[in-house]
Amino acid sequence: MAKKKITDPRAFSRVVVDGDKQAASRAMLRAVGFQDADFARPQIGVASTWANLTPCNMHINELAREACLGIDAAGGKSVLFNTITVSDGISMGTPGMRYSLVSREIIADSIEAVAGCAGFDGFVALGGCDKNMPGCAMAMARLNRPSVFVYGGTIRPGAKRRDIVSVFEAVGAHAAGKLSAAGLLEIERTAIPGPGSCGGMYTANTMASAIEALGLSLPGSSAQEAVGEDKRSDSRRAGEAVVRLVRAGLKPRDIMDRRAFENAITVVIALGGSTNAVLHLLAIAHAAQVKLRLDDFTRIGRRVPVLADLRPSGRYLMSDLVAIGGIQPLMKMLLEAGLLHGDCMTVTGRTLRENLEKIPMYMSGQDIVRPLSQPLKRNSHLVILYGNLAPEGAVAKITGKEGERFEGRARVFEGEERATAAILAGRVRAGDVVVIRNEGPRGGPGMREMLSPTGAIMGLGLGDKVALITDGRFSGGSHGFVVGHISPEAAVGGPIGLLKTGDRIVVDARKREIRVELTAAEIKRRRALWRAPKPYATRGALAKYASLVGSASQGAVTEPMQPRRTGS
């Protein structure tokens, strides 16, 4: 454990439970199981995202109880509490998906509220689905109390190595007449075998890997199956670790500096991770008051190759990566090549370099992770684009298999449902650029993921013949020639809101450009005629979110921008 001047490991709980005037607080806590000795121990919260509404989180409470055992064994007093989760996979393609990104903010807010109110000296946060993880990390950054993140783990493969994306693409294949109704039903019944997050390098596994690279979870936490002793042990050890962190006074912002975020970006690129990592890392950095911009992804991406042959664009599942050692050997490879900052501190109390010192390299003969000399792509698949369609930026996922340039005619749709219906009905053809707008952070609201339309395009066999651009975003399972996060979004008058069907659009990954072939005068004329669309929601959580949320180019956060930390 790094040496740090110890102040008071009970700095927060002492205010709540010490002294005669806090007798009422102690009385309440006795009713939930506190004994006399517990009041003298550091109080450690355990934030569980358990819910029986998604396989990603159905097992989380079992892991949370293991974390509690680790805390109590290490001399702390564990207090288990819950926050929410929603399911992207279940709500995908429906109005309910609008709540997905909103849930990230609710999770961060709720952990902050409970930990702040209860006076926890530290906490463990456990997440299993896409928005759980950045929500937990944002709360860790905001509260800046000793804390450890635990990933719920990846799902095991379904029959014939299927996963959730297999189902979405089967829908498109069925619509094209390539798959029978019985075949679609068989895939539906066998793709999801039990607990755990979606099985490719989709957003959940991407963010778990990014958070481990940030130093906020124990080594190996991101690459474990949801079911098994490895994940239970990881949870217990996280409980023990947070007690050590409390006693050492090591806090998240001691770990989450700019170099740590550069490490996270590097690992995401090497793994071929989800475009959502851009959105979420910007948001976590914002919560930590670390200066991070879209252009940092370009800068780092110029020198970091894609090495992991993982789905959706590759061949292997996360469970295959787990079997050969997870991401730790990959990180050691990147460190030895000078692509990671080895002196960054982690929740082990040791530096990244110290954590990796005794990690063996991948076994010979495996082809899941390529050597640096033989990358799948020599630079990043996450391409930040600018141009007259995206003055504030856009994010493309270009693996190279789709080509690096697409030019075609716009087919404009107001919202995801209309686009998906047109794709499945065969009204989108080779050479089209599908434009889905008014799906941004404010206009959606909630920036829905476009897995239904991209899955349909792939299932129809149009993945290399059709492009899709949107002010919404993409599931980590999306692949094909796709561009999202277009900013400014249509709802605030961004250029994507001025497009008409038939406009010529060019996406050029080599030039990092996205543009519509219109004159400046024509764009100005259309802007003068533009009127803001009617809000989707006028009250409730969606309306509140829409009134607060900022641009996707800054992480789609709901907190105002704060002064950045000096030296970050």
Do 191 and 164 form a contact (C-beta atoms < 8 A)?
yes
The angle formed by the CA atoms of residues 306, 312 and 313, to the nearest 5 degrees, is 50
DSSP 481-502: EEEEEEES-GGGT-GGGG--TT
Do 239 and 78 form a contact (C-beta atoms < 8 A)?
yes
Q: Annotated catalytic, 568?
A: no
Q: How many CB atoms lie within 10 A of CB 225?
A: 19
Q: How far is CA 124 from CA 46, 110, 240, 335, 345, in A?
A: 5, 14, 10, 28, 18
Of the candidates 146, 110, 178, which has an alpha carbon nearest to the alpha carbon of residue 7? 146
Q: Kindly state the tokens that stand for 196.
A: 């755990």
CA 2/CA 568 separation, integer angstroms: 20
The angle formed by the CA atoms of residues 450, 87 and 235, to the nearest 5 degrees, is 125
Write the CB contacts of 122 (distance below 8 Å, at least 6 apart in sequence).
42, 44, 45, 76, 145, 146, 147, 242, 243, 245, 246
Do 542 and 269 form a contact (C-beta atoms < 8 A)?
no
Do 63 and 49 form a contact (C-beta atoms < 8 A)?
no
The angle formed by the CA atoms of residues 452, 458 and 464, to the nearest 5 degrees, is 130
Active site residue: 78, 87, 221, 475, which one? 475
In 3-state terms, what secondary structure has residue 45?
strand
Do 102 and 283 form a contact (C-beta atoms < 8 A)?
no
Three-class SS of 219-281: CCCCCCECCCHHHHHHHHHHHHHHHHHHHHCCCHHHHCCHHHHHHHHHHHHHHCCCCHHHHHH
Q: Which residues pair with 483 in a beta bridge?
A: 396, 469
CA 105/CA 318 separation, integer angstroms: 27
Of the candidates 69, 237, 234, 70, which has an alpha carbon nearest to the alpha carbon of residue 152? 234
DSSP 449-465: B-HHHHHHHHHTT-TTT
Write the CB contacts of 313 (distance below 8 Å, at least 6 apart in sequence).
272, 381, 399, 401, 479
Do 499 and 471 form a contact (C-beta atoms < 8 A)?
no
Q: How many CB atoms lie within 10 A of CB 543?
A: 14
> Which residues are known catalytic residues?
475
